């Protein structure tokens, strides 16, 4: 395979990553709208769309592995392809969070959803998707400086998560009959917060292939996160 052909194949993989990221991005924004509207049809459609995201991830993975096997790249080229495999895994996991929120929507009873919490969810989704777009742009450009700056946006998402957590816990304390309903909403907040965390992982992959350096990017709020504000992934 000539160098030009390798570059063409690499650019195609990058385009497919952007397409996958756009699908995940759009799905997250749509699912918070479905939550606000209690749109069960949209929620079920977004649950089913996760299979499309999964298939796209596996198709990119297969193409990437084929390129590695046939070209046997070295140095930076190999780091790029290894990073692509990691990034599509992160995107697929983000799709799982969307699917989880869609499933929660179908589980919620007729109880009204507090408007302020819905606003918080909208803000978390908006901030997370903006981070994702910036992270993918930095990844495609190999922009290590931009990648380092993006995880600071996770602070804002964490603050919203902690606010939602406190509001829902206080609600459960005041009225134990709301525990099941509030727990479902906590899982919505958890999935939104974890979505943003995985954007930071993409930024770490950008640093890896751009500089060869393995570095854990931490938001400025990481040291002050209260452990009780985090729901385990179960992974």
The DSSP annotation for the chain comes to --HHHHHHHHHHHHHHHHHHHHHHHHHHHHHHHHHHHT-HHHHHHHHHHHHHHHHHHHHHHHHHHHHHHHH---HHHHHHHHHHHHHHHHHHHHHHHHHHHHHHHHH--SPPPPHHHHHHHHHHHHHHHHHHHHHHHHHHHT-HHHHHHGGGGHHHHHHHHHHHHHHHHHHHHH-GGGHHHHHHHHHHHHHHHHHHHHHHHHHHHHHHHHHS-------TTGGG--GGG------
Residue among 61, 63, 59 nearest 8 (CA): 63
Measured at the CA of 164, the angle between CA 159 and CA 168, to 5 degrees, comes to 150
pLDDT at 15 (0 to 100):
95
pLDDT at 218 (0 to 100):
65
| Backbone CA torsion sign across 9, 14, 17, 23 | negative
pLDDT at 226 (0 to 100):
41
What pTM was computed for the model?
Answer: 0.89
pLDDT at 214 (0 to 100):
74
End-to-end Cα separation, the chain, in angstroms? 39
- Cβ-based neighbours of 181, under 8 Å, separated by 6 or more: 108, 109, 111
pLDDT at 188 (0 to 100):
97
Which position has the token pair 């298939």?
A: 55
The pLDDT profile of the chain, 235 residues, written as one tens digit per residue, is: 577 888 889 999 999 999 999 999 999 999 999 999 999 999 999 999 999 999 999 999 999 999 998 888 888 889 999 999 999 999 999 999 999 999 999 999 777 899 999 999 999 999 999 999 999 999 999 999 999 999 988 899 999 999 999 999 999 999 999 899 999 999 999 999 999 999 999 999 999 888 887 777 765 555 444 433 344 444 3
Class of domain 3-229: mainly alpha
pLDDT at 231 (0 to 100):
40
pLDDT at 230 (0 to 100):
40
pLDDT at 111 (0 to 100):
78
């Amino acid at each position: 395979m000539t160098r030009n052909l390798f570059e063409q194949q690499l650019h195609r993989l990058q385009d497919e990553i952007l397409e996958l990221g756009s699908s995940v991005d759009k799905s997250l924004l749509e699912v918070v709208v479905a939550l606000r509207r209690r749109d069960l049809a949209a929620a079920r459609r977004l649950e089913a769309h996760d299979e499309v995201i999964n298939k796209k991830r596996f198709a990119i993975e297969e193409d990437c592995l084929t390129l590695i096997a046939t070209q046997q790249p070295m140095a930076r080229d190999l780091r790029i392809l290894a990073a692509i495999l990691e990034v599509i895994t992160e995107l697929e996991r983000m799709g799982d969070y969307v699917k989880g929120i869609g499933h929660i929507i179908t589980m919620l009873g007729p109880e009204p959803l507090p408007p302020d919490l819905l606003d918080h969810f909208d803000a978390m989704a908006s901030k997370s998707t903006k981070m994702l777009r910036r992270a993918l742009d930095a990844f495609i450009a190999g922009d290590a400086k931009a990648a380092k700056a993006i995880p600071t946006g996770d602070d804002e998402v964490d603050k919203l998560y902690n606010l939602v957590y406190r509001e829902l816990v206080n609600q459960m304390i005041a009225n134990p009959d709301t525990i099941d309903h509030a727990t479902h909403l906590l899982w919505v907040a958890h999935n939104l917060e974890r979505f943003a965390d995985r954007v930071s992982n993409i930024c770490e992959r950008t640093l890896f292939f751009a500089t060869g350096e393995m570095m854990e990017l931490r938001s400025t709020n990481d040291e002050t996160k209260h452990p009780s504000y985090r729901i385990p992934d179960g992974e």
